[in-house]
Amino acid sequence: MKIKFNTIEQMLTLAANINKPLSEVVLQFEAQRSEKDPNEIWANMKNSLEVMREAVTQGLAKTEKSFSGLVGGDANRLIKRSKSSACLTGAVSGQAAAYALAVNEVNAAMGKVVACPTAGSCGILPGALLAAGEVLEADDDKLIRGLFTAAGIGMVIAENASIAGAIGGCQAECGSAAAMAAGAITEMAGGTPQQVSDALALALKNLLGLVCDPVAGLVEVPCVKRNAFGAAHALLAAEMALAGIKSVIPADEVIIAMHQIGLSLPRSLRETSEGGLAQTPTALLITERLQAGKPAV
């Protein structure tokens, strides 16, 4: 059977046809597309999972700053608080956010990450997935399945909208990553394909319109902390979908809306650093200091 899809709706239909979860649809699609052995594809994804885990571990332990001096050490701060009795948000949300910070801090310090879908949004999926995985006591196979589901969602977004901040703003990067993570967690927690669809729609809807305005053009401020929010956000979207809350606007329509919003964004808010946070007095001062070869702060 030919496995091909361009929309979330088509993914759901295929899943119903083969009576398997969405992750299986995505795995079979990739095997057909790449003409590779599914075992080899699985092994590649397992490697991605390992890289994600290693980045989380490294980032949580790390307290030094990035080259610019703007980020670093926050994952360590947050994980300590999340694991303490003072934690307000619940250990899982705090951990998801701390893991996401960890991955993005490693990224900013020229460490090894998996772009998912991009380097600027590389913390959301591993943060949410690994934190949820701990609660669900998920083994590697379940986590890898989650990554395939996430990949399928990202592919549909890339096909019908964009995953590049320069085209769609931050909603296209962090919004897509949160949608991917929300869908992945929902499947891992035993949600139906329809619940996966609702979860990704809910996650994406709430990040619509988010602009890409990096200070001094770096993948640091506000990117790193937005990943922390994105990871916690994805967990909540999954929780809502698993509770039976539906998205009134179907996932595919949310994706199209995201694309339309991206097209309406001025160039200054699409990764050019010519607007938004990047043009605040503090950001301009940081930019000036970095250009003069001085530390940013």
Partner 1 sequence: MHGVFDIIGPVMIGPSSSHTAGAARLSRMARTILGEQPASAVIELHGSFAQTYRGHGTDKAIAAGLLGFNTDDVRLKDALSIAAEQGLDIIFKTVNLGDNAHPNTAVFYLTGVLGRKAKIIGASTGGGNIKITEIDGYDVELTGEYYTLISIHHDKPGVIALVTHILAQESVNIAFMRVSRREKGSEALAIIEADHPIPQHILTAARSIPSVKLALLIPPL
Give the interface segment with partner 1, choosing from 186-194, 197-205, 210-218, 253-261 (CB under 8 A): 210-218
Query: Two tokens at 39?
Result: 């075992």
Minimum distance of partner 1 from residue 39's CB (angstroms): 14
Give the interface segment with partner 1, choosing from 9-17, 81-89, 156-164, 253-261 (CB under 8 A): 156-164
Among candidate residues 211, 228, 249, 245, the one with its CA nearest the CA of residue 96: 228
# residues contacting partner 1 (CB under 8 A): 53
Position 158 contacts partner 1 (CB under 8 A): yes
Among candidate residues 239, 167, 228, 168, the one with its CA nearest the CA of residue 203: 239
Q: Are 27 and 141 in contact (CB under 8 A)?
A: no
Position 228 contacts partner 1 (CB under 8 A): no
What's the distance, Cα to Cα, between the start and end of the chain in Å?
58
Residue-by-residue DSSP string for 245-284 = ---SS-HHHHHHHHHHHHHHS-GGGBSSSSSGGGGSHHHH
Of positions 7, 10, 13, 44, contacts partner 1 by CB under 8 A:
44
Position 166 contacts partner 1 (CB under 8 A): yes
Minimum distance of partner 1 from residue 159's CB (angstroms): 6
Query: Two tokens at 62?
Result: 């790390």
Of positions 15, 116, 132, 178, contacts partner 1 by CB under 8 A:
116
Give the interface segment with partner 1, choosing from 113-121, 202-210, 250-258, 262-270 (CB under 8 A): 113-121
Q: Are 286 and 215 in contact (CB under 8 A)?
A: yes
C-alpha angle 231-234-237 in degrees, rounded to nearest 5 = 155
- Rounded Cα distance between 95 and 290, Å, is 32
Of positions 22, 147, 178, 188, contacts partner 1 by CB under 8 A:
147
Position 108 contacts partner 1 (CB under 8 A): yes
- Rounded Cα distance between 114 and 122, Å, is 6
Minimum distance of partner 1 from residue 104's CB (angstroms): 8
Position 128 contacts partner 1 (CB under 8 A): no
Minimum distance of partner 1 from residue 4's CB (angstroms): 8
Determine the angle formed by the axes of helices 140-160 and 124-136, rounding to 10 degrees: 150
Give the interface segment with partner 1, choosing from 14-22, 83-91, 148-156, 235-243 (CB under 8 A): 148-156
- Rounded Cα distance between 145 and 132, Å, is 14
Q: Which is nearer to partner 1, 154 or 175 (CB)?
A: 154
Among candidate residues 47, 219, 31, 88, the one with its CA nearest the CA of residue 23: 31
Residues forming contacts to partner 1 in the complex (CB under 8 A) are 4, 6, 26-27, 29-30, 33-34, 41, 44-45, 47-48, 51, 66-68, 106-120, 122, 125, 147-148, 150-152, 154-155, 158-159, 163-164, 166, 180, 216-220, 290
